[in-house]
Amino acid sequence: MQQDRLLDAEHEFRRSLKLQPNASKVLLDLATLLANQGRYNETKTLLRDAISNDDKNISLRMNLGSLYEKLDLMDSAIYYFKGVTILDSTYRWSYRSLANIYSESEQYGQALQFYSKFLNIDSTSIEGYYRRATTYMALKKSENAIADWTRLVQLQPNEAEHYRNRGLTYFQLSNFDEAIVDFSRALELRPDQPYTHINLGYGLYLIGKPKKALLSIEEGLKIVPNYSLGYYFEALAYLDLRKRKKACQSLKKAIELGLRDDDIDTIIFAKCL
């Protein structure tokens, strides 16, 4: 029954194209139908032939580029997406597609270039700022990433993920006070984030507040009781409170759960030998 409907739809699209060979919407509908059935070679041929008759049609080029991307033929995908940027330098989706391809292949410099062009056109794109921020992180440009996380906070002030991500980036910059503020806000919005509880606790430990650190770490470990790093942070906080026995118990638990020796501070390791 389903196959019959697909055949009927294909027949109808092809009949329409005989009457109007350059009807781009019908071409795209037929291409989508064929691609959804895994008939990729037919889809490529259809789109390439259509482009040869209408080489300035952006929708046809974007669809063929997307098909090549799906087939992991990235050089061909890039060729068609870049062709769109030449035809229309304000068409933002071509820049996003190029940026995503370069990001997937870890060519972060190229990805950054195209995410920035995308955002110059669409300055409110949540996805755009998120992807550019992660690209900055990959390039070890944490200050730039902070700016994009902050833009996301402005666009979506009630989204916990943005505060968490900015907090993690502040952590990388050793700006623990700002990280704590962001982790705390993230937990106000979504208290069910165990790793944010634990990161908040570690931040509190690093600024000399081990009692508060323990409360937060233990809250996280209630949700993820097999997280080795959480027990290690707990051990550090106990050690600051001069509770050696509890510190060593937590360290033992962390090691049992897979914490590696080279992740352990030599001081606490020595105290628990």
Write down the pLDDT at residue 160: 98
Dump pLDDT digits (tens) for 11-40.
665 666 565 666 667 767 777 877 788 888
Long-range contacts of 99-102 (CB under 8 A, 24+ apart): 99/131, 99/135, 100/131, 101/69, 101/74, 101/77
Q: What is the largest CA-CA distance in the chain?
A: 85
Dump pLDDT digits (tens) for 96-133.
999 999 999 999 999 999 999 999 999 999 999 999 99
Stronger pLDDT, 121 or 7, i.e. the higher one: 121
Share of the chain above pLDDT 90, in %: 73
Q: Tell me the angle at which helices 92-104 and 108-121 cross, rounded to the nearest 10 degrees.
A: 160
Write down the pLDDT at residue 150: 98
**pLDDT greater than 60 at residue 50:** yes
Share of the chain above pLDDT 70, in %: 89
Q: Residue 80: what residue type? A: Y
Dump pLDDT digits (tens) for 190-214.
999 999 999 999 999 999 999 999 9
Write down the pLDDT at residue 5: 72
Q: What is the mean pLDDT of residues 66-79?
A: 95
Q: What is the mean pLDDT of residues 162-178?
A: 97
Write down the pLDDT at residue 191: 96
- In this prediction the pTM is 0.88
